[in-house]
Amino acid sequence: MTSQQYIQDIRAFCLANASKANAEKYSRYFKEGLYNGYGLSAPMMYEKAKEILAKEGLTLQVVMEASPELIKTGKSEEISIMMMTLRGLRKHFKKDTFSLIEKWFSIGIDNWAHADTLGGMLIPEFISKGIIDHEDLRTWLTATNKYQRRCVPVTLIKTLKTTHSYKELFRFIECLMTDPEREVHQGTGWFLREAWKKNPEDTETFLMKWKDTAPRLIFQYATEKMTAAGKAAFRRKRK
C-alpha cells in the first residue's frame, strides 16, 4: 500500500458515508466554526480504521507520509481516521515519529477535537513506552498554536496513574494558568479535575495558589466534582 492509496481509501469511505445532517449537528460543538467534515460518527471511523489496519502493506511509514496531506486538506474525519490507524501501529513508534507528529500543529491542527485525540490517544503512548517524557513537551507550553498548548495538560491526564509527583506536574503546567485562550483553560481545568480525583490534597494546594488570579473557566472544570462547600473554597475574593 502506498501513501496515496491509503489517502484515497480514507477519502472514498468518507465521501460514500457523508451525512449533511450529521455535519450540521457536529458543527455546533466547534464555536469557531472549525468543523470541516463529512458528518461521520465515531463508531464508523473506528471501524474504518480497524479495516485499514487489517490490510496488507499498511506500515507506519505509509501513514506518516500521508499525514501532512490529510492535515492540510483539513477534513475532520480524514484526519481522525488517520490518527486512529496510527495508534494501531503504536508498537512501531520511535522518537522520530514523535518529532514528525510535533510538526502537525504548524501544518493544520486547528481544533480541540484533534488536539484531544493527540493528547488522549497518541502522545501518551510515547510516554508510556519511555520514548519521551513530559519534559519533551516543554516547548509546547509556549507554542503559538493554542491547540498545541492545550494538548499538554490533556496528554498529562494519562500520566496521573503512574506519576510519583503531582507537584512536579503542577509546576510543569503552571504557565498555562495565565494562558489567554479559552481552549487552553478547558484542557488545563480538565487535567486538574482528574488530578483532584486521585490526589485532592496536592491539587487543592495548587488551586488555592491560583484561585484569585487564574481564569475562572479553569476552576469551573477543576472543581466540577467537588461538593458545594469544596467549590466555595475556591471562589475568587471580591475586591
| pLDDT given for residue 32 in this prediction | 66
Report which of residues 38 and 25 the model is more confident about. 38
pLDDT, residue 35, reads: 80
- Is this prediction's pTM over 0.75? yes
State the Cα torsion 71-105-166-220 to the nearest 10°.
Answer: -80
The one-letter amino acid at 155 = T
Q: Give 25's pLDDT tier (boundaries 50, 70, 90).
A: confident
d(CA 56, CA 54): 7
Task: Say what the pLDDT of residue 23 is.
Answer: 87
Average pLDDT (144-158) is 97
Mean pLDDT for 205-225 is 96
Per-residue model confidence as pLDDT tens digits over 107-136: 999 999 999 999 999 999 999 999 999 999
Confidence (pLDDT) at 201 = 96
Determine how many CB atoms are found less than 10 A away from the CB of residue 24.
Answer: 11
What integer is the mean pLDDT of 216-233? 95
pLDDT category at 33 given cuts 50, 70, 90 is low
For the chain, give the percent of residues with pLDDT over 70: 98
Exposed / middle / buried, residue 118 (Cβ in 10 Å: 0-12, 13-18, 19+): buried
Mean pLDDT computed over 155-176:
94
| SS3 state at 1 | coil
Measured distance CA(64)–CA(93) in Å, rounded: 11
pLDDT at 239: 59
> Could you report the per-residue pLDDT of 40-93, keeping only the tens digit for each?
999 999 999 999 999 999 999 999 999 999 999 989 999 999 999 999 999 999
Cβ neighbors of 107 (< 8 A, separation 6 or more) are 68, 71, 72
Find the angle CA(1)-CA(36)-CA(83) to the nearest 5 degrees. Answer: 40
Average pLDDT over residues 190-198: 97
Task: Check residue 39 and give left, alpha or beta (phi > 0: left; psi -120 to 50: alpha).
Answer: left
Q: How much of the chain exceeds pLDDT 90, in percent?
A: 89
